[in-house]
Amino acid sequence: MPNFELNDEYQALSNMVADFADHVVAPVSAKHDEEHSFPYEVVAQMGELGLFGLPFPEEFGGMGGDYFALSLALEQLGRVDQSVAITLEAGVSLGAMPIHRFGTQAQKEAWLPQLTSGSALAGFGLTEPDAGSDAGGTATKARLENGQWVIDGSKQFITNSGTSITKFVTVTAVTDTHERANGSIKKEISTIIVPNGTPGFTVEKAYNKVGWNASDTHPLTLAGARVPEENLLGERGRGYANFLSILDEGRIAIAALATGTAQGCVDEAVRYAKERSAFGHNIGHYQGISFKIARMQTRAHVARLAYYDAASRMLAGKPFKTEAAIAKMVASEAAMDNARDATQVFGGYGFINEFPVARHYRDSKILEIGEGTTEVQLMLIARDLGL
């Protein structure tokens, strides 16, 4: 029979990150959310704990762990602060993982030690104004000229792209086109490392977002940006395919983050239901509240099982694309539903931003959009069924 209990090593990691989340992250979450400020001091401490290096080999400064270890850390961080959790998730799965998976030895040696230590961040520039879910519609172009890639285009919604410790953004770009037999055009999409500060590469003003206010997110402009030919990441023409494989893993990470959010909403609702009195009893006495919270706990539990299953398949080397899509959809919907219900339990206080449930309510919607919308997950699941 499958065993979903954590072994001692995983449990110790989860407990350590939970303690860090409660005593270091949570006390400053409201401040950074209100100020829309990036939590540099928290990120530095996460680096000291080795969280940015969890799934990477010790050769490059990593902790020698695996993707499930990262997921457990994201669950505990997502429980109290989604902005901090997504900074870690994007820093690892979108920033460092492409270098680890597809980089040359020189690229790994140049970038991974900084990224795994948390002293540096990197972004992944895929989404464009007219290419979101249909990322194959990339319009950014790159051409080789005198041993350099010359890149023109724009990207949007790029996480970790504009902090003072951001070192580069890996961008997808069309590096060639080919005409198919039916007359349609096939794009050759490659990925190229563009260091921050490159002339012609502009990190535009940060977005004013509904949530994730302490997460760094910018649009990017590339106007004749030039980088060396060796900044090509992975095989030329494999950029889109490589990204899709990274995204499959990232969906497990997002599912873990969302599970933490769903559980955090339960924890806050239980605490408040025991403290708040109405009509002579604490409000948890009434079935209207207790049953609502029971459903919230059920959602969190199912979400956790879903991402555990997807992660176990990935680590065993088995196909996991569909299971990752299921986990991402189930967990993100659980987070959104639990945030809504927790806000209702809190009543008027749930509408005050200083309370964690209010932040979760604003933050959780993006979980149903980022790294593949709910509709994309449904498409993947249906396709696996032969539909």
**Residues with active-site annotation:** 371
What's the residue count for the chain? 387
- How far apart CA 66 and CA 76 sit, in angstroms, is 16
Backbone angles phi, psi at 247, to 5 degrees: -65, -35
User: Can you read off the two tokens belonging to residue 77?
Assistant: 């961080």
CB neighbourhood size of 287 (10 A):
9
- How far apart CA 165 and CA 87 sit, in angstroms, is 12
Query: Any bridge partners for residue 219, and if so which?
Result: none
